[in-house]
Amino acid sequence: MEQNPRPPRLERGDVGEAVVDLHRQLTLAGYLVETVHLDRFDVQTHAAVQAFQKRRGLEPSGIVGGETWRSLAEAAHNFGERLLCRRTPMMRGDDVAELQLLLGSLGFDSGWIDGIFGPETENAVADFQRNAGVPVDGVAGPTTIDTLTRLRLSANAARPVAAIREQERLRNGPRGLVGRRMVVGDFGFSPSVAGELGTTLRKAGARVLLLHHNDGSTHARASNQFDAELYIGLMAVTEEALTASYYETDSFSSYGGKDLANFAVDALSLAMRMPGDVEGTRTPVLRETRMPAVVFRFGPRDELDAHKTNIANAIHEALTKWVLVPADA
């Protein structure tokens, strides 16, 4: 599935071999569908897809599109089940993220824990191999994985390099917004809110890049190229909603993203007069951005224009608190 650029779109009622493959992928990800009709997308399949989507921070529509297929492919691999190495296209998966977490917790800098085997991860593997006395090739094969697994208890007791680096950057950063490089990303249905927030942050002295695109990975690439210190994503939905999401896996989370999400939901709940939720997820834009990042999900969509000034002011208020109170472990 990783190699298919146009995976089939599946929903309740569909039948065929693609549904059989979906059930296989769900099982590998830990979501067994109890059905005797493996070629039918039924109510049990729908429920399993929704549960998986919620766990991965995807829109829980129960419809399987490209993003859900990609997330299923990444969730299918447990650490140690396959050889991990740098290639084109780059290997992705939860097992790569586990490798990065283990390396980082042992003091070998694999960069951001994004589940993508790139040059930083390859260099960290090679550094570990040199120190562990195993053949040095930058490839996480059986010998390297066995050695890392034996050291897992020591790694679990330590914080990974990525977490330490993020926290130090926050602690050493300026205590204001002037000159801060920030990205405001609109996913297609909140351009007026994004524009209002961008204007508000620029008036506060920040350097702001506005993005308008419906693909999270595109937002992440542009933010990384801009060398942003913070990414803010805005999603508008039809139903009433107020959610702030930050990057979190089973064993790692972004301190900066989590703190900002909490500050922002407190301010936005007052501004929009509705309760809000904070959740840790691993959506592509949160995972692939190499800086603290928060994605806000607002609704109802047709009422956002009336709230855009209050939303912008509330996020500005949260940011002002965030830069004054660096993240703590």
Give strand pairing partners of 121. Answer: none
pLDDT at 45: 96
Mean pLDDT of the chain: 91
Shared-domain flag, residues 131 and 217: no
Q: Which of 134, 158, 182 is the last residue of a domain?
A: 158
Give kind and range of the element (H or E) at residue 294: strand 293-299
Amino acid in the structure at residue 59: E
Phi then psi for residue 128, to 5 deg, are: -60, -45
Shared-domain flag, residues 120 and 65: no
Shared-domain flag, residues 154 and 225: no
pLDDT at 60: 87
The answer to whether residue 87 is domain-embedded is: no
Which structural domain, as residue segments, surrounds residue 203? 170-324
The answer to whether residue 262 is domain-embedded is: yes
* Structure-model confidence comparison of residues 59 and 295, the more confident one: 295
Shared-domain flag, residues 319 and 262: yes
Collect all residues with Cβ–Cβ distance below 8 Å to 317 and sequence separation of at least 6.
267
Question: pLDDT tens-digit profile of 20-71?
Answer: 999 999 999 999 998 888 999 999 999 999 999 988 878 889 999 988 998 9
The answer to whether residue 83 is domain-embedded is: no
Shared-domain flag, residues 115 and 28: no
Q: Domain of 109: which CATH number?
A: 1.10.101.10
Q: SS3 string of 169-211?
A: HHHHCCCCCCCCEEEEEECCCCHHHHHHHHHHHHHCCCEEEEE
The answer to whether residue 302 is domain-embedded is: yes
Amino acid in the structure at residue 150: R
Total number of domains constituting the chain: 3
The answer to whether residue 120 is domain-embedded is: yes
Matching residue, tokens 């599109």? 65
Shared-domain flag, residues 144 and 191: no
User: Following DSSP, what letter does each residue of 236-259 receive, concatenated?
Assistant: E-SS-EEEEEEEB-SS-B-HHHHH
Give kind and range of the element (H or E) at residue 50: helix 43-56
Q: How many CB atoms lie within 10 A of CB 101?
A: 23
Question: pLDDT tens-digit profile of 152-186?
Answer: 766 565 778 888 888 888 888 888 999 999 999 99
Q: Which of 75, 103, 122 is the last residue of a domain?
A: 75
Report residue 241 as tokens.
């909603």
pLDDT at 157: 56
pLDDT at 2: 44
Report whether 94 contacts 28 (CB < 8 A).
Answer: no
Shared-domain flag, residues 151 and 174: no
pTM attached to this predicted model: 0.85
